[in-house]
Structure 1
Amino acid sequence: MRRLNFVFVLLIGGVANHCHGATGEQIYTTQCAFCHGKAGEGSKKYPKPLIGDKSSPQLALQIQKTMPKEDPGSLSKEDSLAVASYAFDKFYSVAARERNNPVRVELARLTVSQYRNAVADMIGHFRGNATWWDKNRGLKGEYFKERNPGKRLIERTDPEVKFDFGVNAPAEKDFDAKEFSIRWTGSVLIPETGEYTFIVKSNQSVRLFVNDNKNPIADGYVRSGNDNEYKGTVYLLGGRVYPIRLDFSKALQGVKDKNPKPLPAFVTLLWQQPNGTAETIPSRQLSPQWSPETYVVTTKFPPDDRSYGWERGTTVSKAWDQATTDSALDAADYVSLRINELAKTNEKDDKRAEKIKTFIRQMAKLAFRKPVTDDLEKVYVTRPMESNPDLQAAVKRAMLMILKSPRFLYREPSGGEPDQYDVAARMAFAMWDSIPNQELLDLAAAGKLKTPEEVKKHLNDKMIWDTRAKTRLLGFLHHWLKTDHGRDAVKDAKRFPGFDAAIVGDLRTSLDLTLDDVVWSDKSDFRQLLISEETFLNGRLAKYYGVDLPADASFAKTAFEPGKRTGVLTHPYLMTTLAYSAETSPIHRGVFLAKGILGTGLKPPQEAFTPIPAELHPNLTTRQRVELQTKGANCQSCHLVINPLGFALENFDAVGRYRLKDNNKEIDPTGTYLTRSGETKTFKGAGELAKFLAGSPDVHTAFAEQMFHHLVQQSVRAYGSTRTTELRDTFTKSGFHVRQLAVEIVAGSALAASSKTVRK
């Protein structure tokens, strides 16, 4: 959104005298329209339209403090309020813009994430998608007496694979310390989409399989030399469960001694997540239950449009079209080579052709999100099979046609009356970023997605507990906190010794665990995200941040400096990413609070901004340097909002450690904020700031609107001018229940779109 930038054309003389008694419209017409257009549309000199999302009181304060440009502060409070009220009602506000140019639901193609998830679920339908996560954690460990799996002596669940057996056997009874083998099997839950490097460290024979039970990703079963580390990288989709198997074997190969002594043995299973560091795969990401293989589209796609602040599939380019073609070819090859497995048939089956035809028909139904009509069956099923006597070739052709069809690639196809299959599709794309599963399609077929009660029941009982939904909500929270894209967390080694990549990785994990703990609690209380004094720490973080925990402690919820820290606002990961390498950044922190948390529109600075180096003013605090650099009238229009918010977090240094002094001077963490209702709030420090934000209707509105945009990927205004207010009120009545807000958003948008109550 854009900030108002009035430039008044004034005669020499007092502004207040010139405008005294004039209406807001008269002031704007005589003093502003010359530069900014009759309806705020802009001019050649100032082409940007006068639009934004400040309230009328906030807009009036900006005008009074910063306008006219030649003489800021000379306009009276009454005249500033008058011209602000006129501009706000006429063209500036969201409501005015909607009245003047109604927002509509846009035709949208699948985003990159939706495309990958959809193809994975289409193929996974025939294997059984693993998108549920039970309470059991770890991997199933089967311990065998011989060097190759044979007679099993022990079966148990191991929380993680991190063993140093030394010269001993896994157990005293029945094992020979010189020779034994272990097989760990189960599933691994992938938290976010990207490339994962899996690592096995062992001085014995090992072989690791991930999402492929035939081809190992890391193979050290035939050892040579002194290699003790084996690794492999694979691209995986977040929010999904993948099969994993690790084979370990200890033997006395090559030993000539007739009575050899046992040799030491160890084995550890690690991974390196996207933008992370190598760590032992924790038990919370492992399950002893086996899961089927998942097909993953690895074709590189051009990025989706994020100009509105959320991913939108609105741009279609040659690069995108080529990517869909390449991925369709890969998927068609994959399916055609495995058609017997997927269609539950074999070469000797008399009904093989019929089963393959049924398979293609079902594949088309899944892709198109509704039953296949007779006419469509002729195109996508009958014709490919009749034109190709080779059934494998027919399958490949059919898959290409299905995956390149607009019925698959576009979410809001024109034509036809909306029905309950459309409701099911919108529910699935919003909650899972994917297509409906068979259960959703069955509900649509039975007419059980007609009312809000029916839709919400299925969302609450089933859909929101799916691992894809959990990842989707975590992704939104990272978007809300502006941590969804990797930020530079490298710090000055002299200022912050010991702050390394491992600490950064732990901080990211700590934040994820903290967010999950609140959102998936019984109350799912949004306010706890801002005011809770507990977070998750392990031994390494505890040592760095001065908390008393054992050095080898695993992540656990910990009272983290009560009275000083408050919720995610002061989480070290957030404080670290919103800071420079050696100094804090009240501006970055203030922008985050204003835009992300309070939903205030801010325009990028007119000129490139370079912070004043601390060494140029060695006697000033960071707050004083920022105040010095942003005191100009051009800066104040935004920094009147930004600076006071950011200053409230100055007690936390560039790596998020609590401090009382900056440059040997007492820190002043006092800040203020003018609410949309026109009330000025004052707070001292993070604690008072967090309490204000937790109870602020502005924050609740911004959170609800941002979640809507992230899940639905359409403008909330296309669903009615009062939709944001309705969501905020529902959010408030629910006790600020985060999961329930997601259900309200998904159910409301799915039913509203299908009932034609929105503009298209």
Structure 2
Amino acid sequence: MVDFRIHARFRTQPGVFPLLCVVLFVCSNGVAAADDPQLEKGKAIYAKQCADCHGNQGQGVPSVYAEPLIGDLAVSELANYISAAMPEGEPEACVAEDAEAVAAYIHQEFYSIIARVRNQPPTVDFSRLTVRQYRNSVADLVASFQWTNQFGNEQGLEGRYYKSRNRGKDNIAIERIDHVIDFDFGEAGPDPENIKDEQYVISWSGSIFAPKTGYYEFVVDSANGGELWINGGSEPLIDFRVKSGDQTEYRKDIFLIEGRPYSLRLDLNKAKSDKTVGIKLKWKPPHGPEELIPPYALSKATFPEWLIVETNFPPDDKSVGYERGVQVSPEWDDATTAAAIEVADKVLARLDSLIKVREFTEETEPKLKQFCVDFASRAFRRPLSDEVKKLYVDQQFEGAPDLAAGVKRSLLLTLKSPRFLFPYVGSSEFDDYDYAAWMALTLWDSIPDASLLKSAAQKKLVDGKDLQWQAERMAQDMRARSKVRSFFHQWLYFDHFSEMDKADEEHAEFTPELANDLRASLELYINDIFWSESSDFRTLLQADTIFVNPRIAKFYGLGEVDGPLFEKASFEPDQRSGLLTHPYMLAGLAYESATSPIHRGVFLSRSLLGRFLKPPPIAVTPTPPDLDPSLTTRERVAHQTAPVACKSCHGLINHLGFVLENFDEVGRYRTKEGAKSIDASGSYVSRDGEEAKFVGAEELSKFLVTSDEAHQAFIEQMFQYLTKQPIQAFGPEMLGQLHEDFQKNNFNMQRMLVQITLKSAQQRRQARQDQMAKSAAK
């Protein structure tokens, strides 16, 4: 296996939850500032008392402490921990001023993120396409030969109810948007006054949005006949025109990739023999239970067929909290070969719809060759040179037994080419086409579209004439919306909430369906704020509204909601504060029958404040509430994390998590736990050693929206998710520049999306120019 990771990263994966005890480690490269007496003193103490266990450069000692010594505490917190716990077995040997000196030495020389970046500057990883980027690129590559559309705001499908089997426009009895396909028209039918024929058709059309990549099971429940098409094709996904016995339920799986709308058509045929008319259309998505397809996943807009790569790929590296294509293994190579064959076969089968070629003859040969040229140039994200065209197209036709084989060979060679699979290589000078490729991967995880390539061809990107406009245009595309949506899923731990079980005896009404509704509610909340005109990060953390449907409204006591559409409603404005107090987050960061200040504190520490936390060296099983009913959750957690070894990180984690204790394990507000009043006070010590105190979610959110650490954590994590590269590799000034832009633009998240795209591309060009200048100087 070839591994392209050059430098160790500085963050653990945000989705890994420490449970109860995280032991702090610290690290050293053994260099102190000679003109600072305290650092000199700390260096001497470290060499005498610490180096034997942790290495003279903090690299770790395999037989003692193999882990490198890194952390994220303020100097004062680090000194307190050393004074209480180090050296192991005789902590009294390093206390007071000695502990402060060694903490200062460790922190400045090799412990802090600043020291680690200084000592080992990260670089931009040489990367291949991730699995998501591969599938998106192929889908958009094939779609570039077709028409396109945008997923509409109408929630539901367009229903046409015909008077008979005749589908003429003048034979429509009812034409409307149906939000959910859940009908029991009985014997009378949908419109007995206008639909009187014994045989008639009801047809629903539009598109369905796939929120997650994976297999979707579609379910049609009807005593009548009909067909269901998903994502076009020549054959229906479910054909229930002919019944078998008393069968009324029909199921079929289909693989879909996230963030895209797929054409949907459902026909219901009323036969003479049918006594009643009715139908339900359901699905079981990869992330949730079987349910009626909800309105927010449907639109009346139609789309051409997407080419979906179904080949299984090995998972991408996620060790740093975002997907990276840094490993090339035999398994990955085999997967790209299998995928190339899959794509070539599917493209050949639909050439008629792509370029209007049904037969492979001498007359169609020029058109077939031009298709292969266009396919390769779009896959490679730049026009083909004569030499490249000869290799990837001309030679493949010359040596092929027939034209079909020539097309297939050209497509296979293109899809296996490093020019397609390793898009970050680019040209030596990082030209306009490199700009276009970088922008498309950053905003879309895909290839450039025709407009972006046109700007590149006219050299309007490097000189900036078209750069800003293109970035702003691309940020409004549905592919950018999909990537932003995926970022929030990662940032908010959505994948870890897939099975949100709660104790039946206490919360019988907290069903998988309700959990799925809450997930949709939070997605709608984020979408509503992010894509608003202000797109204000502060509103994300402070709004007191929620999107509700009847099931959510009933469970949380929000009054009557008609449904089935989600409605925006005020939600306990005196207690709630944005996504911090959304029931989906609170319930996901909790146990079945108790809250979890630790899970909530880890989320706040890592995602909201960007703090570094290592996984615990040991897993400690939480004490069940019924073992000591007299204790509150806060008291139990404080007791279990009281050991010195735990305090280094739980001093940070606990005091953030405790602030959300007013919300129980299903996200309901409470003032008491058992007979005791809730203590929702907490605190936070910044990296600079400044302490902030707050009581309750509202005070915490007010602190977060004014915290530079929170702003920078959001920027850094968005940057790294978009570019799939460490922000430190783009220079020490990048984070500061983006933070300044964020503040100037009133914390507008859409603007930050554009700024990350532009500044990262510009920095890569500058770095390439600097590299060329150095090479020329030699």
Question: Partner residue of 1:478?
Answer: 489
Bigger drift between 227-236 and 547-556 goes to 547-556
Bigger drift between 139-148 and 110-119 goes to 139-148
Question: Partner residue of 1:611?
Answer: 622
Structure 1: 5+ residue stretches without partners: 9-18, 255-262
Q: State the shift of 1:610 in Å.
A: 1.0
Q: State the shift of 1:64 in Å.
A: 4.4
Q: Is the 8 A contact 1:201 1:230 kept in 2?
A: yes
Distance in 2 of aligned mates of 1:96 and 1:722: 15
Q: Is the 8 A contact 2:444 2:483 kept in 1?
A: yes
| Pairing of 1:548-587 with structure 2 (within 5 A) | 548-550=559-561, 552=563, 554-587=565-598
Question: Partner residue of 1:146?
Answer: 164
Question: Partner residue of 2:19?
Answer: none
Evaluate the alpha carbon distance shift between residue 319 and residue 592 of structure 1 in structure 2; reply closer, same or farther with a 3 A threshold.
Answer: same
Question: Partner residue of 1:257?
Answer: none
Evaluate the alpha carbon distance shift between residue 21 and residue 396 of structure 1 in structure 2; reply closer, same or farther with a 3 A threshold.
Answer: closer
Question: Partner residue of 1:326?
Answer: 338
Distance in 1 of aligned mates of 2:668 and 2:201: 47
2:390 alignment partner, one of 361, 364, 378:
378
- Equivalent position SS for 1:681: strand
Distance in 2 of aligned mates of 1:705 and 1:288: 38
1:635 aligns with 2:646: yes
Distance in 2 of aligned mates of 1:470 and 1:172: 43
Question: Partner residue of 1:739?
Answer: 750
Amino acid in the other structure paired with 1:250? K
Amino acid in the other structure paired with 2:382? K
Evaluate the alpha carbon distance shift between residue 590 and residue 459 of structure 1 in structure 2; reply closer, same or farther with a 3 A threshold.
Answer: same
Q: State the shift of 1:364 in Å.
A: 0.5
1:119 aligns with 2:135: no
Amino acid in the other structure paired with 1:107? F
Distance in 2 of aligned mates of 1:473 and 1:54: 30
Larger RCO: 1 or 2 (CA < 8 Å, sep 6+): 2
- Equivalent position SS for 2:151: coil
With normalisation by structure 1, the TM-score equals 0.92
What does the per-residue CA deviation read over 1:440-463, in whole Å, with 9 as the maximum and x for residues that have no partner?
Answer: 111111111124573232121x21
1:83 alignment partner, one of 97, 102, 106:
102
Q: State the shift of 1:736 in Å.
A: 1.0
Question: Partner residue of 2:123?
Answer: 104
Q: State the shift of 1:101 in Å.
A: 1.7
Q: Is the 8 A contact 1:198 1:272 kept in 2?
A: yes
2:722 alignment partner, one of 707, 711, 725:
711
2:536 alignment partner, one of 525, 530, 554:
525
Question: Partner residue of 2:33?
Answer: none
- Equivalent position SS for 1:574: helix
Distance in 1 of aligned mates of 2:136 and 2:403: 27
Q: State the shift of 1:336 in Å.
A: 1.9
Distance in 1 of aligned mates of 2:723 and 2:666: 35
- Equivalent position SS for 2:317: coil
Question: Partner residue of 1:178?
Answer: 198
Question: Partner residue of 1:544?
Answer: 555
Distance in 2 of aligned mates of 1:359 and 1:20: 70
Q: State the shift of 1:349 in Å.
A: 7.0
Q: Is the 8 A contact 1:206 1:248 kept in 2?
A: yes
Question: Partner residue of 2:20?
Answer: none
Amino acid in the other structure paired with 1:346? R
Q: Is the 8 A contact 2:436 2:448 kept in 1?
A: yes
Q: State the shift of 1:210 in Å.
A: 0.5
1:252 aligns with 2:272: yes
Distance in 2 of aligned mates of 1:567 and 1:748: 30
Amino acid in the other structure paired with 2:70? I
Question: Partner residue of 1:699?
Answer: 710
Q: Is the 8 A contact 1:650 1:667 kept in 2?
A: yes
Distance in 1 of aligned mates of 2:38 and 2:343: 72
Question: Partner residue of 1:27?
Answer: 45
With normalisation by structure 2, the TM-score equals 0.90
Q: Is the 8 A contact 1:197 1:231 kept in 2?
A: yes
Q: Is the 8 A contact 1:503 1:541 kept in 2?
A: yes
Q: State the shift of 1:395 in Å.
A: 1.0
1:416 alignment partner, one of 385, 408, 428:
428
Evaluate the alpha carbon distance shift between residue 703 and residue 745 of structure 1 in structure 2; reply closer, same or farther with a 3 A threshold.
Answer: same
Task: Report the number of matched residues.
Answer: 740
Evaluate the alpha carbon distance shift between residue 187 and residue 53 of structure 1 in structure 2; reply closer, same or farther with a 3 A threshold.
Answer: same
Distance in 2 of aligned mates of 1:251 and 1:5: 73
Question: Partner residue of 2:257?
Answer: 237
Bigger drift between 149-158 and 493-502 goes to 149-158
Distance in 2 of aligned mates of 1:73 and 1:548: 61
Q: State the shift of 1:753 in Å.
A: 1.2
- Equivalent position SS for 2:304: coil
Q: State the shift of 1:554 in Å.
A: 3.1
| Pairing of 1:656-671 with structure 2 (within 5 A) | 656-671=667-682
Identity %: 42
Question: Partner residue of 2:402?
Answer: 390
Amino acid in the other structure paired with 2:208? V
Structure 2: 5+ residue stretches without partners: 1-10, 13-22, 29-36, 772-778
* Cα RMSD, aligned residues only: 2.5
Question: Partner residue of 2:603?
Answer: 592
2:439 alignment partner, one of 408, 417, 427:
427
Evaluate the alpha carbon distance shift between residue 623 and residue 351 of structure 1 in structure 2; reply closer, same or farther with a 3 A threshold.
Answer: same
- Equivalent position SS for 1:504: helix
